[in-house]
Amino acid sequence: MTYQKRVPLLMLLDSVIVLSAIYFAYFIVNPSSEFYTSKTLLISSLIILVSHHLFAFIYRLYHKAWEYASVGEMLTIFKAVTFSIVTAGVAQYVGVGHALVRVLFITWMLHMLLIGGSRFSWRMFRDWYLKPKVEKKRTLIVGAGSAGTMVARQLLHSEEVDLKPVAFVDDDPRKLKLEMFGLTVCGAIQDIPTIVEIEHIEDIIIAIPSITKSEIRRIYEICAQTDAEIQIMPMIEDVMTGKISVSELRNVEVEDLLGREPVELDISSINETITGATVLVTGAGGSIGSEICRQICNFNPSRLLLLGHGEFSIYNIDMELKKKYQNHIEIIPIIADVQDRNRIFEVMEQNRPDVVYHAAAHKHVPLMEYNPREAVKNNIIGTRNVAEAADTFSVKSFVLVSTDKAVNPPNVMGATKRFAEMIVQNLAKESNTKFVAVRFGNVLGSRGSVIPLFKKQIEAGGPVTVTHKDMTRYFMTIPEASRLVIQAGTLARGGEVFVLDMGEPVKISDLAKNLITLSGFTLDEIKIEYTGMRPGEKMYEELLNENEVQQKQVFPKIHIGKAEPLGKIELYEIISNLEEMPVEEVKETLIQVANTKYSPALELAR
Give the active site residues.
405
Q: What are phi and psi of 191, to 5 degrees?
A: -90, 0
Angstrom CA distances, 171 to 145, 186, 187, stand at 11, 10, 8
CA dist., res. 67 & res. 174, Å (int)? 32
CA dihedral sign, ordered 24, 26, 28, 34: negative
Q: Identify whether the C-beta of residue 441 lies closer than 8 Å to the C-beta of residue 472.
A: no
Q: Identify whether the C-beta of residue 221 lies closer than 8 Å to the C-beta of residue 200.
A: no
Measured from the Cβ of residue 397, the count of other Cβ atoms closer than 10 Å reads: 22
Q: With residue 498 as reference, give the H or E element that holds it.
A: strand 497-500
Which positions ≥6 away from 262 have C-beta within 8 Å? 213, 255, 476, 477, 480
Q: Identify whether the C-beta of residue 168 lies closer than 8 Å to the C-beta of residue 180.
A: yes
Closest CA to 157 of 62, 251, 60, 65: 65
CA dist., res. 494 & res. 491, Å (int)? 9
Which residues is 141 bridged to in the sheet? 168, 205
CA dist., res. 140 & res. 143, Å (int)? 10
**Residue 422, helix vs strand vs coil:** helix
How far does the chain reach from its first CA to its final CA, in angstroms?
92
Q: Identify whether the C-beta of residue 401 lies closer than 8 Å to the C-beta of residue 441.
A: no
Q: For residues 254, 260, 261 and 266, what is the CA-based torsion angle, rounded to 10 degrees? A: -110
CA dist., res. 35 & res. 428, Å (int)? 101
CA dist., res. 417 & res. 353, Å (int)? 24
Which positions ≥6 away from 147 have C-beta within 8 Å? 207, 208, 209, 233, 236
CA dist., res. 91 & res. 341, Å (int)? 94
Which positions ≥6 away from 86 have C-beta within 8 Å? none
Q: With residue 560 as reference, give the H or E element that holds it.
A: strand 558-561
CA dist., res. 443 & res. 421, Å (int)? 19
Q: Identify whether the C-beta of residue 19 lies closer than 8 Å to the C-beta of residue 43.
A: no
CA dihedral sign, ordered 369, 366, 473, 289: positive
The residue type at 245: S
582 φ/ψ sector (left φ>0, alpha ψ -120 to 50, else beta):
beta
**Residue 140, helix vs strand vs coil:** strand
Q: For residues 439, 442, 445 and 450, what is the CA-based torsion angle, rounded to 10 degrees? A: 160
